[in-house]
Amino acid sequence: MLAPAPAVWHDAPWRALPPLAGEVDADVCVVGLGGSGLTCIRELLALGRRVVGIDAGHVAQGAAGRNGGFLLAGLTAFYHDAVRDLGRERALAIYRLTMREIDRICDETPEVIRRVGSLRIADSPEEAADCDRQLAAMRADGLPVERYAGPEGRGLLIPTDGAFHPLARCHALARRAIDEGARLYEHSAAVDVLHGGVATAAGRVRARHVVVAVDGGLERLLPEFHGLVRSTRLQMLATAPAPEVSIPRPVYARWGHDYWQQLPDLRIALGGGRDLGGEAEWTHDAAPSETVQVALERILRERIGARAPITHRWAATVGYTTDRMPVAVEARPGVWAIGGYSGTGNVIGALLGRAVARAIVHGESPELAAFARKD
């Protein structure tokens, strides 16, 4: 096991926020200051609610500040698989909601986004045939997609996707939320989440509503999700500037197991190989492991052709659900839970954060219905 390390995104200073001490009152307490929780907080503020947000570590300490930086429409399942599993109407509704959410994310923080599209590249004849099925299903429903052939390989181009700086976005959201009146506390882990509030080691937030916006580790904080959500480690590495290669848009390869993008300063951020790490990757330990890092290094050198030295190796945990559908539910009276994005939560987490805020304020949210489990 290698030591935990900063992600490539940790390139700007962040002024630490105080821990919670004593009792505070709010209309809503949001637990987890990643992209999902911060989006929820800003939506609640826009709807006139008093909000307190707490995080066990610092803002975007989890996957939200340590991920691949892809903004992908749809669910973790490719579109044609989602149609098979959910039915056409529901899969299409969810896909459209996520496209709209990418638009909102771009409007909200344009300074950290590159709307350059994304590639799905096939690594085998079977995967090429699967790309054909995805293309057909998306075209049948009028969704934006093109066939692609280029230096990265052959597959599909989704022109409406994009790439972003995940940590810079979270910092921007947190700063704005504070300016808009939210009270945010770092190093304040929720130890008890109850109807009517949240307890930390040194304080308590009294609030009618609680939103737990935790992806990796959701089942630890709310044990009722054991069996549905299981936390796993995802790993990445990054290089010094690699002018020897040119990758204009994020690439998703080998059935989405591996993914990489070239940043504006020409560094490469590459993730994946989780399937190659075996059972050991089902863990809450966010330190990179040698097996997966060796696999990533091979992709970097042999597949991508980059020679630049590796400067960063890191990992973070996310929640996978058994059916690969996210969690967005009132788990206990007055306590909402969102998470379990099964590896792609940048867009859906924000979408569900907004949707839950509206459900709390208006008593319902049409977006949530599309994600409800039918059981």
Ligand X SMILES: Cc1cc2nc3c(=O)[nH]c(=O)nc-3n(C[C@H](O)[C@H](O)[C@H](O)COP(=O)(O)OP(=O)(O)OC[C@H]3O[C@@H](n4cnc5c(N)ncnc54)[C@H](O)[C@@H]3O)c2cc1C
Strands 22-31 and 51-54: parallel
Indicate the residue among 274 and 363 with the shorter CB distance to ligand X: 274
Shortest Å distance, C-beta 54 to ligand X:
5
Kindly tell me which residue out of 41, 52, 70, 120 binds ligand X, with binding defined by CB under 6 A.
70
Which helix (H) or strand (E) is 79 found in, with range? helix 79-86
Residue 335 binds to ligand X (criterion: CB under 6 A): no
Residue 83 binds to ligand X (criterion: CB under 6 A): no
* Angle, CA of 339, 285 and 345, to the nearest 5°: 25
Indicate the residue among 104 and 132 with the shorter CB distance to ligand X: 104
* Angle, CA of 359, 365 and 371, to the nearest 5°: 110
Which range binds ligand X by CB under 6 A, 15-23, 63-71, 107-115, 296-304?
A: 63-71
Buried b (16+ CB within 10 A) or exposed e, 172-207: bbbebbeeeebbbbbbbbbeebeeebbbbeebbbeb
Helix, strand, coil % over all residues of the chain, rounded to 5: 35, 30, 35
Partner residues linked to 13 by β-bridges? none
Shortest Å distance, C-beta 19 to ligand X:
11
Nearest to 141 by CA among 98, 91, 78: 91
Number of other residues whose CB lies within 10 A of the CB of residue 117: 20
Residue 69 binds to ligand X (criterion: CB under 6 A): yes
Residue 98 binds to ligand X (criterion: CB under 6 A): no
Residue 156 binds to ligand X (criterion: CB under 6 A): no
Shortest Å distance, C-beta 307 to ligand X:
23
Tell me if residue 260 falls in helix, strand or coil: strand
Residue with the two structure tokens 């020897």: 244
Binders in 12-41 for ligand X, by CB under 6 A? 31-37
Shortest Å distance, C-beta 182 to ligand X:
15
Indicate the residue among 31 and 253 with the shorter CB distance to ligand X: 31
Kindly tell me which residue out of 316, 325, 329, 351 binds ligand X, with binding defined by CB under 6 A.
316
Residue numbers at the binding site for ligand X (CB under 6 A): 31-37, 54-57, 60-64, 66-70, 72, 189-190, 213-217, 221, 234, 236, 271, 316, 318, 339, 341, 343-347, 349
